Amino acid sequence: MAVTIVIGGFFGDEGKGKIVSHLVREDSPSIVARGGVGPNAGHTVKVDGEEFGTRLTPSGFFDEECRLLVGAGTLIDPEVMNQEIEKLDIEDRIGIDKRCGIIEQKHINRDKKDSRLSDEIETTGTGCGPANEDRVARKLKQAKDIPKLKKYLTDVPKEINNAIKNNKDILVEGAQGFGLSLIYGTYPYVTSKDTGASQAACDVGIGPTKIDEVLIVFKAYPTRVGAGPFPTEMTEEEAQEHGVEEYGTVTGRPRRVGKWMKDWAEYAVMVNGATQAAITCIDKYDQRCRGITDYQELTEKAKKFIEKKEREMGVPVTLISTGPRNDETIDLRKEKL
């Protein structure tokens, strides 16, 4: 049994929702817990041909036996949370830590009215930054202060650590990407807290000695929404030639597209102590790979790309996404771990 943390290695939008949903289908963990900043990051999951974009709910929502938890380090927008609970019909399976910070309308207003945040940094406008400011200033409401969240409240660290004692599988889902970390990312073009594996563990209340695997997710072609450095960025024409025109899950804004960032990928693996990596969108690197589920059937071009990244990063690539559907995945964990 294992405790696994899944985080993004570039600037978000790496396909973490797809990877987490695959792990849930294959491993049936007892708990999927969400860390991260808050509703400023969307995870996309395809279930039976239907696409869901969630902003706070863990990506294991489709497994009816799975307990879904939102860690204390995560900010909650009660309106967004309640909409997702109703839409996904997870009222009996969701637990929200009583210490989650609460985003209020005033935080959203400040986020949108601050010209530096909205125009220069190009934040999502979801109120996360101003809410975290109030959290640091010790004047932020918590989930326990919101009556309509009362029935979902729990102590997430207690639940998770009790499950660990009972040898249950736990999956911790981070959000954003390591390039957006407040501490290690492309400051000041970052989010309002750290986005690494250590922070994800802290968000849900798991000590470092209890983590078994850190799975870092990279995209064959990194993308970025909003302003900030992107040294390998392609022109719009180049991106279209590679078939990688994309839009953000939360903002709907076009994603900037670039080529693989070798030095950054190696650095992200090092700082996060990654034990394995996933590479998504290999079908956009080579369209002939679309839908393949057997590694040996990948093109030589794709195999050379993946094997080179393994050598550079020093960790095995255990999961390869060959398309948006959950079954369009190559899982090499049994062979490589």
Per DSSP, the three-state class of 102 is strand
The pLDDT of residue 137 = 97
Which one from 13, 97, 134, 194 is the annotated catalytic residue? Answer: 13
Overall pTM surpassing 0.75 (yes/no)? yes
Identity of the amino acid at 51: E
| Rg of the Cα atoms in the chain | 19
Using one digit for the tens of pLDDT, what is the confidence trace for 303-328? 999 999 999 999 999 999 999 888 89
Q: What is the pLDDT of residue 31?
A: 98
Identify the burial level of 200 via C-beta atoms within 10 angstroms of its C-beta, where 0-12 means exposed, 13-18 middle and 19 or more buried: buried
Length of the chain: 337
> How many alpha carbons fall within 13 Å on the CB side of residue 31?
29
**Of 45, 140, 51, 66, the residue nearest 101 (C-alpha):** 140
| pLDDT for the residue 105 | 96
Q: For domain 3-336, give the CATH superfamily.
A: Adenylosuccinate Synthetase, subunit A, domain 1 (3.40.440.10)
Q: How confident is the model at residue 119, as a pLDDT?
A: 67
Q: What is the structure's pLDDT at 40?
A: 84
User: Would you state the pLDDT for residue 123?
Assistant: 74
Identify the pLDDT of residue 48: 72
Q: Where are the domains of the chain?
A: 3-336
pLDDT at residue 313, rounded to an integer: 98
43 is catalytic: yes
Residue 146's pLDDT is 97
Angle between helices 128-136 and 105-113 (to 10 degrees): 110
Task: Kindly give the parts of the chain with pLDDT less than 50.
Answer: none
Task: Please confirm, yes or no, whether 13 is among the known catalytic residues.
Answer: yes
Q: Report the relative pairing of strands 67-70 and 31-34 from DSSP bridges.
A: parallel
- In degrees and rounded to multiples of 5, residue 103 shows phi and psi of -85, 125
Answer for the pair 337, 276: CB distance below 8 angstroms, yes or no: yes
The whole-number pLDDT of residue 47 equals 72
For 57-98, the pLDDT digits (tens) are 999 999 999 999 999 999 999 999 999 999 999 999 999 999
- What does the DSSP assignment read for 276-314? EEEEE-HHHH-GGGTT---GGGS-HHHHHHHHHHHHHHT
Beta strand 317-321 pairing with 276-280 = parallel
Partners of residue 217 on adjacent β-strands: 8, 278
Catalytic: which of 22, 27, 43, 89? Answer: 43
